Amino acid sequence: MPQSQVRRYDVLSDFNTVYDFLVDTFDLNTFNSYLLPAYWEYLHLHPEFDYLHAERMGIWRSDDGIVGVVAFDMALGDAHLHPSPSHVYLLPQMLDWTEQEISLPITDASGNFAGNRKLGVWVTDAETSKRELLLNRGYQLEYREPVRLFSYSQPFSERALPPGYRLIQGSEVD
């Protein structure tokens, strides 16, 4: 197995490199563990993205560049683990990082640490290695949703809003 090193994500210098890695490794079968290139961009532009903890995301590198990424989903507590297809063997190490850096402490009614942590990990049915790892570590499936693909082989037709309507930013809605 090739040697790889892990380091913390730096939002100012790593955004584009991670984006390119997600584009280069996109797999229609696994959906990059739902860490799609377009979602990576959306995540960083969303007003609820937790920039204060962005350094808790991890990047695995080899001599050839990025070989894996661990990212939280908008905030700590939910995570995406995405190794390149040739570095799936890094998943246990990536999950260790995620449990340490991205999981949240469970507190009792008084707000005291109850001794356990919680973590959601995005996984698709096609990611058998990751599913097995999670099951072996005691994770349980709590949520499932269907994902549908639509082919856009034809151009979108032009649509006009009826008079008196306009599109606005979501932040303008109260």
Residue 146's φ and ψ, nearest 5 degrees, are: -75, 145
Strand 120-121, strand 75-83: pairing: parallel
pLDDT at position 1? 60
Whole-number Cα distances in Å, 17 to 58, 112, 131, 152, 158: 13, 39, 27, 28, 35
The proportion of the chain whose per-residue pLDDT surpasses 70, expressed as a percent, equals 98
Is residue 53 within 8 A of residue 79, CB to CB? The reply is no
**If DSSP states are collapsed to H, E and C, what string results for 49-100?**
CCHHHHHHCEEEEECCEEEEEEEEECEEEEEEEEECHHHHHHHHHHHHHHHH
- Model confidence over 26-74: pLDDT tens digits? 988 888 889 999 999 999 999 999 999 999 999 999 988 999 999 999 9
Is residue 62 within 8 A of residue 83, CB to CB? The reply is no
Is residue 85 within 8 A of residue 58, CB to CB? The reply is no
Q: How confident is the model at residue 128 (pLDDT cuts 50, 70, 90)?
A: very high
In 3D space, the residue among 88, 69, 171, 75 whose CA is nearest the CA of residue 128 turns out to be 88
Structure tokens at 35: 């860490």
Whole-number Cα distances in Å, 119 to 15, 97, 110, 147: 24, 12, 21, 22
Give 114's DSSP letter. Answer: E
Stretch among 6-15, 22-31, 90-99, 147-156 having the lowest mean pLDDT:
147-156
pLDDT averaged over every residue in the chain: 91
